[in-house]
Amino acid sequence: MTSMLKILLKNGTGRYATRLYPAEAREPFAKNRADLSFDPGCCRLCKTCSRKCPTGAIEVDKENRTWKRDVFSCVFCGDCIEACPKSCLSFVARPPLPQKHHQQAVVYATVPERSKK
């Protein structure tokens, strides 16, 4: 009974083991793969990332010049990063915001037309 009281007191007065994310975010650790960044400015819509992705998370539409990644399908393996010939993809230590609905978890980008110069 005394040990249980000790635990209750410790839990009630000590620091919380969890944080109120995203209001209170933890500092990312080194080599953290929190999110995948895509730079539409350098993309050539070659579809290599989409072909290499083991989970089919990336969809590239050359006609409509769009690049999409389904965050819920991504396993952060890094295969697309290694495969991209233009280095448009990279891991960033910025944790993605929590999502309630699947539609919100699709990263969508329009790739700009390239200059003819």
User: Which residues of the shown chain bind ligand SF4 in the complex (CB under 6 A)?
Assistant: 36, 43-49, 52-55, 57-58, 60, 69, 74-80, 83-84, 86, 88-89
Residue with smaller CB distance to ligand SF4, 83 or 105: 83
Residues 6+ apart with CB under 8 A from 109: 38, 40, 43, 66, 67, 68
DSSP class per residue in 19-84: --TTTSPPPPPTT---EEEE-GGG-----HHHHH-TT--EEEETTTTEEEEETTT-----HHHHH-
Q: How far is the CB of 89 from ligand SF4 (least distance, A)?
A: 6
User: Toward ligand SF4, which CB reaches closer, 19 or 62?
Assistant: 62
> Which of residues 46 and 105 has its CB atom nearest to ligand SF4 in the complex?
46
> Based on CB atoms, which residue is closest to ligand SF4, 73 or 103?
73
Measured CA to CA, the distance from residue 101 to residue 117 in angstroms comes to 42
Report the nearest approach of ligand SF4 to the CB of residue 55 (Å).
Answer: 5
Shortest distance (Å) from residue 68 CB to ligand SF4: 10
Whole-number minimum distance, CB 113 to ligand SF4, in Å? 14
